[in-house]
Chains A and B, each alone.
Chain A
């Protein structure tokens, strides 16, 4: 069965770079969102298994969005992909329910390795 991926980042360039980089068997992109509020709407529509989540975004930041998505589906895998490289932010996101943290800038290999690591847990 194919897995569904949703990409959340306020940068169109980053969203597109993640779309191009995804190279994991049976992983399909089902939606992209530019902020936390749109991400929640899209999450309800598409029920993804995996989400990449930026932190610094307008309207609703990524940490709050992680919390909301986990409330909707505690089994969703969330990979935070953020420029905020301090340990405290990573710990906060993980404490809200994210399962992985990848610092920007990232390269495709690092991104796909992070996806595989999260999906292995199933």
Chain B
């Protein structure tokens, strides 16, 4: 029987998010994103202008966040053929990206990885609250000239 170390288990868990993020950008925009190696959050507030937050319950508990600049979100909308870059659509696509990446993870985690509808936080100074006691991993993404992030905080 093969057993995994804690680090290997974490890497395995995070890989589903890495793959899901790459798949999202590739599929929606036709332009590949470079998804970097996850690292532990060290700064107090790593959020950018818009953050989509998904609550996770069931087999895992915590939150998944996708954070981005507004300009990148406008580029995503443009790639989808959307011409209306109003605040509502920008917030909507922020939540939808977080929702899609989190939902796709169920391919690996299964049905008991239950996700909420997205909550979107906006504004240059918005503060994301991370539940205490759990490590938060940041997965850096590079797409075009933009550098959004996925943030994973799960038990």
Instruction: Determine if chain A interacts with chain B.
Output: yes
By a CB distance below 8 angstroms, the chain B residues around A57 are 117
Dominant SS at the B interface? helix
Among A10, A12, A13, A20, max chain B CB count under 10 A is at: A13
Cα separation A95 to B14 with both chains bound (whole Å)? 31
By a CB distance below 8 angstroms, the chain A residues around B89 are 12-13
A88 within 8 A of B: yes
Answer whether A84 and B106 are a contact pair too, CB < 8 Å, given A13-B96, A56-B99.
Answer: yes
Cα separation A11 to B80 with both chains bound (whole Å)? 14
Cα separation A11 to B76 with both chains bound (whole Å)? 15
A8 to chain B, nearest CB (A): 14
A17 within 8 A of B: yes
Q: Assign chain B's interface to a size class.
A: 20 to 34
A20 to chain B, nearest CB (A): 5
B102 within 8 A of A: yes
Say whether A105 contacts B115, CB under 8 Å.
no
Q: Which residues of chain B in 50-66 are interfacial with respect to chain A, using CB atoms and an 8 Å cutoff?
A: none
Dominant SS at the A interface? loop
B148 within 8 A of A: no
Q: Which residues of chain B in 77-119 are interfacial with respect to chain A, using CB atoms and an 8 Å cutoff?
A: 77, 80-82, 88-89, 92-93, 95-96, 99-107, 109-111, 113, 115-117
B28 within 8 A of A: yes
Answer whether A12 and B104 are a contact pair too, CB < 8 Å, given A105-B23, A105-B24, A105-B27.
Answer: no
Say whether B88 contacts A12, CB under 8 Å.
yes
Among B23, B82, B103, max chain A CB count under 10 A is at: B103
A103 within 8 A of B: yes
A12, closest chain B residue (CB): B92
By a CB distance below 8 angstroms, the chain A residues around B23 are 105
Say whether A56 contacts B100, CB under 8 Å.
no
By a CB distance below 8 angstroms, the chain A residues around B27 are 105-107
Say whether A56 contacts B92, CB under 8 Å.
no
Among B103, B109, B113, contact of A104 (Cβ-Cβ < 8 Å): B103
Q: Which residues of chain A in 2-20 are interfacial with respect to chain B, using CB atoms and an 8 Å cutoff?
A: 10-14, 16-17, 20
By a CB distance below 8 angstroms, the chain A residues around B28 are 105, 107
Give residues in A with beta carbon < 8 Å to B: 10-14, 16-17, 20, 56-58, 82-86, 88-89, 103-107
